[in-house]
Amino acid sequence: MSDLQDRLERLAQRGTPRGGDAVLEAAKTSVEHDAVAAIGMDPSRRQSPRRHFSSLVAAAGVAATLFVGMLAFSAFLGAGGGSDSPEGAVRQLADAVSHEDALAAADVLAPEEVQSLSRTIDQTARRAQELQLARTASAPLAGLDLSVDNLDLSTETMADGYVKVTVSSGTLSSQTQNEKFAPVMQRVLRNTTGPKGQVDLARLAKSLNLPTFVMTVKRGGQWYVSAAYTTLEYIREANQLPPADFGSGVRATATLGADTPDAAVTEAMQALQRSDWKTLISLAPPDEIPVYDYRDALMQLGADNQTHFTIDKLETTSTVSGDTAKVTLHTAGTTDSGRWALDGGCFKPPLQDRLVSTSAWCALTPYYTVLPFYGSSPASVASAQVTVVRKDGRWFVSPVGTALDLIDRYVRDFTQRQLYTMLNVPELLPVDATLTLGRPVTQDDRRGGAYVYALDAHRGDRFLGLVTWDPPAGDSYGGAAVLVYSPDGEVMRDSYDLIDGRGLEIPTDGTYRIVVRPYFQRITFTVWPEAQAPEAAKHPPTEGMYDGCHPTGNGGETCSSSASVGTSSSSSSSSSSSTSSSDAGTTGTCVTGSDGLTTCRDVTSSSSRSSSSSSSGSGGVTATTATSVPGG
C-alpha cells in the first residue's frame, strides 16, 4: 500500500495541476494523434519533399535508360553516321579532323558518295603499319596534330534536304612532331623542321572571291557533308553558272543510265568521244555524282570544250554481282598525235611508240598505266575494271567505285621495297645480299624498286663497279642508279665514283650499303677492287656523266658549275627520283625535280629524241640535252 501511495504522490506532483476536464481533453487529443500516426498520414506529410526527389531520380533514370536503349537500337538499325543538323554535320567533320580520325570523317560524309571509303582508309592504315610507315594502324597520323577552333557557321537552305553551311570564322592549325612519326617517316622528314601552320577557314576560297562553304544533304533523316555537291556548287558559283535543280537526278534515276553494264561503259566512251556531255551526265549515278542536278551549269561550261580522239575498237566484258558490275574495257583509237589504246588498266597514250616497245608496253613500263608508277603490279593493272552500279533498274558508271577499286589494288600491291624507294630511303630496306667482289648480282625487278647490298670494306680500299643491262626489246630504258651509304647510314658524297670509272675510295672501316635501283630493266651489277677491275668498269657507259654532281641526303643531287654550260659560275640542284634512259641509241640519266620536270643527261651524242635545254634550279643551265618524260 505504501508503495502505491508513494507512486500516486509522485504522479500527482508531475506537470501543472489541472482539473478533471483538462485531463480528459488531453487524453482525447493524444488518442486522436496516435490514431492518425498509426495510419501513417503524418509521416507522409513530413517526408513529402524526399519522396518527390527520389521519384524524380527514378523517373530520370527511366528516361535516360530509354534514351540509351533508343541510341543502341537506332545505331544497330541505322547507318550510324551523319548528324541531326547541317551545322552538326560540319562540326562533326571538324571534330574528326581535330582528332585526325579519317574513319569518323568518312562517317559524316554522304554515304552514297564515299561508298567503301572506310574500308579503303582502314586497309591503307593497316598497310601503312605493315610497311612500317606508321607506328600503328590505329594512329597512322600520329605526329601530325590538327586542330579546328573557333568555328562559326551559318546556314542557307538551297532546297528541301540541301543546305549550304558557310564558315563565317574558324581556324585550322597544324603542327608536326617528327619524334612521334615512325622511324621511316622521321628519316624521310629528317631535313625538315616541324612546321606550325594556321589557316583561316573563312578565307579558303578567297582566290575565287567566294566564302568558304560546305554543302550538306539529308539522307535517311540524318545530315551529311557532301563532297560532290560542295565541289559542284563551287564550280557553279565560281563560273556564275545557272543554279542546280537539287534532287532532280535522284527523282529521274529510272529514266537515266543504260540498260546493261556493258552498255553503260560503251555509251560513256562514245559520248566522251562525241563530246556529248548530256549523255555522259546521264550515265553518272545521280546520288553518287550529282552532275544531273547541275546539268544546265555543266552543259554551259562544257559548250566550248571538245574532245579530239576517235574510237575504232570498243569491246567490253562484264561480271555482275547483285547491283554492282565490273566491266573490263578494251578500246583503241587515234588522236592527232597517234594511236592510243586501253586494255584493262593499261593505257597506251599516243606519242609513246618510239619510247617503248609496243609488244609489252604495259607489263614493262608502269608509266603507262591508270595506276600510279610505283607499286602497281602489272597483273593487277591489266585486270583493272570499271565499276558499274544499278539504281532503280538502270546501270550507271560509278567513278567513285572505280577509283576506290583502283586505290585498293594499289595499296594492296605496294611493297616495302617500292615504298622506301619512292620515299628516297632505300637504305632502310633490309639487306638483300652481301656482295662478293668480282661476282655479279642480277636483278630483274621492273617495277622500280631498289636493292640493298652489304659490302665489308676497310679504310683506303678502292672499288670500281659496273652496271650492265639487258633490254628485251632494244628500245627501253637501261642501267641503274647506284648509291653508297657509309656505316653511319649517310649517303657518301662520292657515291657516283663507284660506277663512272673514277673509283670509290673507302674512308673508314665498316659495312657499307650499296643501293642499286634498276631502271625497269634486268640489270647486272658487279664490284671489283679497283686494281682487278676490267676495262669495261674503268670506261663504263656512265663515264663522265656524273662529273661535278654529288648525291644529297634527301635523295636528290647537286651539280657544280663545272658541269654546266653557261657564262656564270653557279650550281643547280634537284631532288626526288632519278631514272636512266636508253632510247634509239641514246643513253642517259634523268633526274626528276620538285617541279615534276625530268631532266635527262645524254651520254652519247646521237640522240633521236627531241631535246632542249632545261634550266634546273637557280642560276646555271645544265650541260645536257633534256626532255620531259612521263613521270611516275
Tell me which residues touch another protein (CB under 8 A): 47, 50-51, 53-62, 64-65, 67-69, 71-72, 75-76, 80-81, 92, 95-96, 99-105, 107-108, 121-122, 125-126, 129, 136-142
Q: How many of the other CB atoms lie within 10 Å of CB of 485?
A: 20
Q: What minimum distance in Å lies between the beta carbon of 80 and another protein?
A: 4
**Do the beta carbons of residue 397 and residue 265 sit within 8 Å?**
yes
Return phi, psi of residue 309, to 5°: -155, 160
Name which of 53 and 511 has its Cβ closer to another protein: 53
CA 339/CA 275 separation, integer angstroms: 19
Through-space distance between the first and last CA atoms of the chain, rounded to whole angstroms: 125
Q: What minimum distance in Å lies between the beta carbon of 321 and another protein?
A: 23
CA 448/CA 468 separation, integer angstroms: 16
Q: What minimum distance in Å lies between the beta carbon of 143 and another protein?
A: 11
Q: What minimum distance in Å lies between the beta carbon of 60 and another protein?
A: 6
Bridge-based pairing of strands 510-518 and 523-529 is unpaired
All 3 cell numbers of residue 454? 652489304
Name which of 224 and 367 has its Cβ closer to another protein: 224
Place of cell 597506251: 348
Q: How many of the other CB atoms lie within 10 Å of CB of 155?
A: 15
All 3 cell numbers of residue 461? 680500299
Name which of 92 and 627 has its Cβ closer to another protein: 92
Return phi, psi of residue 413, to 5°: -80, -20
Name which of 103 and 433 has its Cβ closer to another protein: 103
Name which of 51 and 274 has its Cβ closer to another protein: 51
Name which of 112 and 500 has its Cβ closer to another protein: 112
Q: What minimum distance in Å lies between the beta carbon of 430 and another protein?
A: 23
**What value, to the nearest 5°, has the Cα angle with vertex 374 and ends 372 and 378?**
80
CA 119/CA 400 separation, integer angstroms: 13
Name which of 142 and 437 has its Cβ closer to another protein: 142
Q: What minimum distance in Å lies between the beta carbon of 91 and another protein?
A: 11
Name which of 103 and 584 has its Cβ closer to another protein: 103
Name which of 138 and 310 has its Cβ closer to another protein: 138
CA 549/CA 599 separation, integer angstroms: 14
Q: How many of the other CB atoms lie within 10 Å of CB of 232?
A: 21
Q: What minimum distance in Å lies between the beta carbon of 214 and another protein?
A: 17
Q: What minimum distance in Å lies between the beta carbon of 83 and another protein?
A: 11
Instruction: Classify residue 503 as exposed, middle or buried by CB count within 10 Å of its CB (0-12, 13-18, 19+).
Output: buried
CA 444/CA 451 separation, integer angstroms: 11
Name which of 100 and 494 has its Cβ closer to another protein: 100
CA 446/CA 467 separation, integer angstroms: 15
Q: What minimum distance in Å lies between the beta carbon of 63 and another protein?
A: 8
CA neighbours within 13 Å on the CB side: how many for 531?
2
All 3 cell numbers of residue 359? 609488244
Q: What minimum distance in Å lies between the beta carbon of 78 and another protein?
A: 10
CA 536/CA 525 separation, integer angstroms: 12
CA 235/CA 208 separation, integer angstroms: 10
